[in-house]
Amino acid sequence: MVHSAMVENPLMLGLPEEKRPEPFAMVIFGAHGDLCKRKLLPAIYALYVQNLLPENFAILGQSRTEKTDQKFRDDMKEAVIKYSEDLEFDQASWDRFAPSLYYRAGDSKNLESYKEMKATLAELEKQHGTMGNHIFYLSTPPSLYMPIITKLAESGLAIARKKNEPAWPRVVVEKPFGHDLASSLELDATLHDVLSEPQIYRIDHYLGKETVQNIMCFRFANSIFEPIWNREFVDHIQITSAETIGVEDRGAYYEEAGALRDMIQNHLMQLVALVAMEPPISLDPEATRDERVKVLNAIRPFSADTIDDFSVRGQYGEGYVLGDKAARYRDEKNVSPESTRETYAALKLYIDNWRWAGVPIYLRSGKRLAKRLTEIAIQFRKPPKMLFKQLGGSIYHNTPASESPNVLVMKIQPDDGISLKFATKQPGPTTQIRSLTMDFRYGTAFGSRTPPAYERLILDALIGDPSLYARSDFYEASWKLYQPLIEHWEKSVPGKSTGKGYLVAHRPFPNYESGSWGPQESDEMLSIEGHTWREL
C-alpha cells in the first residue's frame, strides 16, 4: 500500500508541466450514488495526494438527497477509506482536500436547480479561483442524461465552443451510451445541439486500465511483434470477460441491458479495436480514434440467415461458484421469473480488411462463470510438423508442444500483465519438448502502484485529452453492428425453433450452470472452425 502523504511528485511520474490541469470546478450529478462513492471520489482524492490536481479546484456534488456540505464530506471520507484500492488514508491530506468539497440537493429535471447551481459555481469561482472552468460528470441513470444536458443548456451552464476556443465546459457521460442504435443517435444529437465534440467525454473505464493502455505501446514500440500481427501468422483471437458474481442488486438494470449491451457493445469492442487497429499516423487523439473506428467499420455485418452461427446467448441457472451455492438468474431480485435476458453472450467476428481477412475473433462475456478475469489471447498459427513429427507422442511432456501453438495473452484483470507461451526442449539426453510461459506483471515489474482506471480517465478529462474516450462515430459503428443481433434476440424465444434447428435460440433458459464456463453452444460455435476456448 502506498501512503498518501508520501506519493511521488507528478513531474517524476512523467507528467509534463504543460499537461497539468487548469483550475476547475467539477459538478458530479448523482453524487449520492455508488459510482461516486466507489470510484469517482477515491480517484479524485488519489489525484490530489499525488499532486496531480491544480491548486485551485472545487468539487460540487448534486443529487436529490438532502445533506449539508459537512455531511457530504464525512460520507466521502468514509468512501475514500473504504474504496481506495492501494492508497493508505492520510488524515492530514484529507483535511487539506475536504474544504474543496461541496454539496447541493437538486432535481435534475428542474430548471430552478440549475439556476441555483450556476450561482453556487459563481461563488466557488470567487472562493477557489476556478476561473469558470466547469466539468459536469453524469453519474446518473441513463434516463437522466438528456434532461441534464438540456437543462445545462437552458441555464447557460453549457455552451458550445468554436474550433479554436478552449473546450470548456466539458461533460463526461457514463455508459451505457444509448440502449440501441436509435437511442444512441438521439442522445448524440442532443449532446451536439448543446456542445461541440471536443467538449464531450464518453467514458469507458476499460480504456483506463493499464494493460489496455499498453496494447498500443506493446504493438507499435516493439519491432518484433507488429510484423507478425496479421492473418499470415495469427490463427485466431479470443477476448474473454468473465465474472463470478451474478447481477447482485442490479436486476432491474440487467433486465433492460443484458450481457451484449452491458459488456460487449462497449468494453469488448474497445479491446477489439485496439488489438486490430492499424498504426496511427501520430499519437494525436483524433489519429488514434480514427483507426479504432476504422476497425469497427470493417467488421462483417451479421446477416439474417447466419446470425445464429455467429452468436450464442445464455442465462445462468443454479450451481456452485467458488464452492458457494448460487441461485439462478430468474430468482434474482427485480428479475422476471420468465426472463429471456442473456447473462452470457459469445460472438464470432470477422474483420474484412487486408490485415485480418479470414481470422476469426471470438468474444465472450458472462456472469456466474468459473473464474473472474478479463484477457485478450492472440493464438498464432501452428508451426509446420516436418521437423518434430518423427519424435512421436511418447517422448513429449503431456500434449506435444510442437502441436501446441504459441499464445500471447494480455491480462487485463485481476492481475494486469502479459504472458507468452512457447515450446522449448526439456533438459535431458532425449529430445522432449514442452510448453513454457514467460510472464510479465505490472505489480512486480515496476515496483510502483498501478493507478485504477478512473484516476487516469478523470485526469485526462481535466487536461482535455480525449484519447482514451470514445468518439460519437465509434458508438454509432458499434450500435450499427449489433442492432440486427439485438432485434433477432428480442423476437426469438430460447427453446423455440426458428427453422434452422441450430445453436443458441433453441435451448430453453437457463442453459448453463453457475460456476461453469457457459452454454455448450458456445463451445460448438468454435468447434465448427476447429477451435476451442482457452482453458483458464
Q: Which residues are catalytic?
A: 267
- Nearest partner of 77 among 109, 120, 45, judged by Cα: 45
The alpha carbon of residue 8 and the mean position of all alpha carbons in its chain are separated, in whole angstroms, by 28
Those residues whose C-beta lies under 8 Å from the C-beta of residue 49, and which sit 6 or more positions away, are: 4, 5, 7, 87, 90, 93, 97
Calculate the dihedral angle through the C-alpha atoms of 327, 333, 336, 342, rounding to the nearest 10 degrees.
-60
Q: Checking DSSP bridges between strand 432-441 and strand 417-426, what pairing results, if any?
A: antiparallel
Coil, helix or strand at residue 257: coil
Alpha-helical (H) ranges within 225-322 are 251-256, 258-259, 269-276, 285-298
Q: Is the dihedral of CA 47, 49, 53, 56 positive or negative?
A: positive
Sheet holding 170-173, edge to edge: 101-105, 57-63, 24-29, 134-138, 170-173, 200-202
Judge if the upstream peptide bond of residue 176 is cis by omega within 30 degrees of 0: yes
CA distance 133 to 165: 13
Judge if the upstream peptide bond of residue 169 is cis by omega within 30 degrees of 0: yes
CA distance 216 to 211: 10
Go through 8-46 and write b for each residue having 16 or more CB atoms within 10 A of its CB, e for each that does not.
eebeeeebeeeebbebbbbbbbbbbbebbbebbbbbbbb
CB half-sphere exposure, 366, CA atoms < 13 A? 28
Judge if the upstream peptide bond of residue 510 is cis by omega within 30 degrees of 0: yes
Query: What do you get for the CA distance between the two ends of the chain, in Å?
Result: 29
**Cβ atoms of 247 and 329 closer than 8 Å:** yes
**Beta carbons within 10 angstroms of residue 405's beta carbon:** 17
